[in-house]
Amino acid sequence: MKKNKKINFEDSMNRLEDIVNLLEDQSTTLEQSIDLFEEGMLLTNSCKEILKKTESRIKNLLKEEKN
């Protein structure tokens, strides 16, 4: 995954699932595993940011609803 590329939450989660499967595969080399782990960390951070923004948006909507 390129650092500048925007990817949506669902695609990120699907890719993370693929990465887990590849990391569990006995034929994945150490270098490949490190690269996959790095990609997984980037995707995880991206998902966290998306969830953080979504939570904030929902809180704002709920706040508006109360007013």
Sorted by where each begins, the domain ranges of the chain are: 9-66
pLDDT value of position 61: 94
pLDDT value of position 6: 75
As a whole number of angstroms, the distance between CA 47 and CA 55 comes to 12
pLDDT value of position 67: 74
Over residues 1-59, the pLDDT tens digits come to 545 467 899 999 999 999 999 999 999 999 999 999 999 999 999 999 999 999 999 99
As a whole number of angstroms, the distance between CA 67 and CA 65 comes to 5
pTM equals 0.81
In this structure, what DSSP letter does residue 48 have? H
pLDDT value of position 5: 66
The first and second tokens of residue 43, run together, are: 């995707």
